[in-house]
Amino acid sequence: MKEKCTKYEALFTFGNDETLKEHVNSCKDCQKEQEVMDKVSELLKEVRPYYKSKRHNVVKLKAACAVFAILLSGTTLGVINLNTDISETIKYGTTLSAEDYGFPVDSYGFLMVE
């Protein structure tokens, strides 16, 4: 019984194209291996556009998430900075009154004007 040729993988990986072509032309086992590799190569060429479009969609999604995060954080910080009650509650734990600022106030908490 004839043993199967095992040179194809070594020539494909480490050899040059000319040596591989010469060996494939002279060896039936390696011709079958080359046919299988050609089929795999054709399949990869067929699905390449799908993966490129999928990668492009992932890039679009990442950009959209970044823009959303920037808009959300900008809006949140703007609201906090414009609304002093919220910012004081975050900083000090409570809303500051005129008395806390050191202004003269009456018993109702209104500013005393003299």
Per-residue model confidence as pLDDT tens digits over 44-102? 888 888 878 888 888 999 999 999 999 999 888 888 778 777 777 777 777 777 777 77
pLDDT in tens, 2-41: 678 888 888 888 888 888 888 888 888 888 888 998 999 9
Phi, psi values for residue 37, rounded to 5°:
-65, -35
Q: Supply the pLDDT for residue 67.
A: 96
Q: Supply the pLDDT for residue 42.
A: 92
Q: Supply the pLDDT for residue 1.
A: 42
Tell me, yes or no, whether 21 and 67 share the same domain.
Answer: yes
Q: Is the dihedral of CA 106, 110, 111, 114 positive or negative?
A: negative
Residue 78 lies in a domain: no
**Is the distance from CB of 100 to CB of 94 less than 8 angstroms?**
no
Tell me, yes or no, whether 63 and 27 share the same domain.
Answer: yes
Residue 2 lies in a domain: no
Question: Domain limits at 94?
Answer: 83-114
Q: Supply the pLDDT for residue 68.
A: 97
Tell me, yes or no, whether 57 and 11 share the same domain.
Answer: yes
Burial class (CB in 10 A: 0-12, 13-18, 19+), 24: buried
Alpha carbons 48 and 35: distance in angstroms, whole number: 20
Residue 92 lies in a domain: yes
Tell me, yes or no, whether 112 and 56 share the same domain.
Answer: no
User: CA 69 → CA 75, 87, 112, distances in Å?
Assistant: 10, 21, 45
Q: Supply the pLDDT for residue 69.
A: 96
Residue 1 lies in a domain: no
Of the candidates 23, 42, 19, 43, the residue with the CA atom closest to the CA atom of residue 31 = 23
Tell me, yes or no, whether 26 and 67 share the same domain.
Answer: yes
Cα 100 from chain centroid (whole Å):
48
Tell me, yes or no, whether 16 and 41 share the same domain.
Answer: yes
Number of domains in the chain: 2
Q: Supply the pLDDT for residue 48.
A: 86
